[in-house]
Amino acid sequence: MDLTEAIQNIQPLDSQAMEASWKHWDSIAKPLRSLGKLEETVVKIAGMQRTPQVDVKNKELIVMCADNGVVAEGISQTGQDVTAVVAENFLDDRTCTALMAKECGAALVPVDIGMVKDTRVDHSDKVAYGTKDFLKEPAMTRAQAIQAIEVGIHRAEKAKQDGYRMLATGEMGIGNTTTSSAVVSVLLDVPVETVTGKGAGLSNAALSHKCDVIREAVRKHRPDPNDALDVLSKVGGFDIAGMAGVCLGGAALGMPVVIDGFISAAAAITAQHIRPQVTDYLLASHVSGEPASELLIEKLGLDPWLHCNMRLGEGSGAVAMFPILDMALKVYYSMATFEGIHIEAYQPL
């Protein structure tokens, strides 16, 4: 699918499948709706997959790895070489997220969508060797923004072809809290300082400089808040665009997509501006420790599962949600029904 096809293929949730899923939940021998969000999420996934026989046993975390030229402005504590090191560590189970994914049986696929150098990570989808310094010039061309989104769409297609039924978005890229803050500030029309945090440990002075860089870039390039592609191309990043594509592609394929923290949510809000109905297929794993996380989740109309004050990124929050969902589905499929144990069912009062 290209971007246009993905947009056209996103359908409303299947209300009949959701109704059947609720009917099954209510037949299980426990107090009605007593598992709260666990039940609600399974029902929502039934609507996505268009069947009450929910199947998310095989899960894949897609980690978009990219570098950002704005790092040249001193907005990060570390240099771009760290992106490549961590990206390769995903392959060797040497990151927090890789270990977490392995523990819960989820696949982790790092994608080089725009790192400044080639590594052992698959770079067949690389759009360019990093974005431009958006303080000096637009981060990318509009064509590159579309290309990066379509990388995400194609990765979602490949995951479904490989037998995966649930996706999650993650990222790795030094400087990507800066690009995310810029994108969110423009799309939501909120002050830069409201949506900009210290990222991976900036000082107060460095945070102030980071905000100044974003404000000046927005003033200089004047991205159109009504055109998500324009915003992406001027102040975004390839990783944000790629994750937005995973959201759109997953939705077009009827697959649930679990978003991680602030940067994943920035990608999700970008996808929402491209096709509002995409949020029907998104699940918010947690509220990040970054300042704008709660605002973004609210704007997406989602209800987060976890409140752990995490701010690692890389898809770590999304992976942390997986075991809880698996437990919910164990109850959904394995617990006895009222009829099966011959007792009168609870009735809604």
- What CA–CA distance (Å, rounded) separates 186 from 68? 18
Helix (H, G, I), strand (E, B) or coil at 335: coil
Is pLDDT above 80 for 349?
Answer: no
| Strand blocks (E) in 81-165 | 107-114
Maximum separation of any 2 CA atoms in the chain, in Å: 72
- What CA–CA distance (Å, rounded) separates 150 from 64? 13
The mean of the pLDDT values for the chain is 95
pLDDT of the residue at 90: 98
The residue-averaged pLDDT of 32-54 equals 97
- What CA–CA distance (Å, rounded) separates 54 from 49? 7
Contact of 345 with 338, CB cutoff 8 Å: yes
Contact of 86 with 63, CB cutoff 8 Å: no
CB atoms within 10 A of CB 220: 15
Residues 6+ apart with CB under 8 A from 212: none
CA geometry: angle 215, 174, 171, nearest 5 deg: 105
47 pLDDT band, cuts 50/70/90, is very high
Please report, for residues 45, 291, 316, the alpha-carbon distance to residue 77 in angstroms, rounded to integers and kept in the order given: 39, 18, 21
- What CA–CA distance (Å, rounded) separates 302 from 170? 18
Structural domains of the chain sorted by starting position, each given as residue range(s) with its CATH number in brackets = 59-324 (3.40.50.10210)
pLDDT of the residue at 347: 75
Q: What percent of the chain has a predicted confidence (pLDDT) above 90?
A: 89
Is pLDDT above 80 for 15?
Answer: yes
Active site residues: 314
Q: Which residue, 313, 324, 318, 283, is CA-closest to 300?
A: 283
β-partners of residue 171 are 64
- What CA–CA distance (Å, rounded) separates 314 from 111? 12
* Residue range 103-159, pLDDT digits in tens: 999 999 999 999 999 999 999 999 999 999 999 999 999 999 999 999 999 999 999
How many residues would you count in the chain? 349
